[in-house]
Amino acid sequence: MPTEASTAAFEYVSEVYEAVDSKDERRLARFLTDNCTFVYANNDPVIGRAKIAEYSKNFMALIAGIEHQLLEVWAVDDIVISRIEVTYTRKDGSTLTVPAVTIWRVRDRQIDDYRIYIDVAPLFTH
């Protein structure tokens, strides 16, 4: 049975993924601290809200669309973990769905450390 805390975490995570799925880096940036650390797959860390927004904008330009299906969320102290499926729509209209896990350290309803564990190699080898 979900607790009030887990329900709140699920709703928060849903809000963040809605921002990501909008492909609007400014919507995502509102969820990040000024000095947030962002690590996507096996890429180097990106540090800072503005740099992460620019990174997101550049990545989103490579694809036609993105959609997150939230499967599970766990919240422990200031850590939020989510298990998701991400569907990418390529520029040619084809899609790829891959599993992923994100781990966030959250401070005052903003993400201070954002880690995405995913294999996106097939996205660009199509």
Does the pLDDT value for residue 1 go beyond 50? no
Residue 7: the pLDDT is 86
User: Mean per-residue pLDDT for 5-10?
Assistant: 82
Statement: the pTM of the whole predicted model exceeds 0.85: yes
pLDDT-above-70 percentage for the chain: 95
**For residues 91 and 43, what is the distance between their CA atoms, to the nearest angstrom?**
22
Distance CA 53, CA 102 (A): 17
Domain locations in the chain? 4-123
Amino acid sitting at position 124:
F
Task: Taking residues 45-65, report their average pLDDT.
Answer: 97
Out of 3.30.479.30, 3.40.630.30, 3.10.20.30, 3.10.450.50, the CATH code matching 4-123 is: 3.10.450.50
CA-based nearest residue to 113, from 103, 123, 121, 122: 103
Tokens encoding 72? 């599970």
Neighbours of 81 (CB within 10 A): 16
Residue 31 has a CB neighbour count (10 Å cut-off) of 19
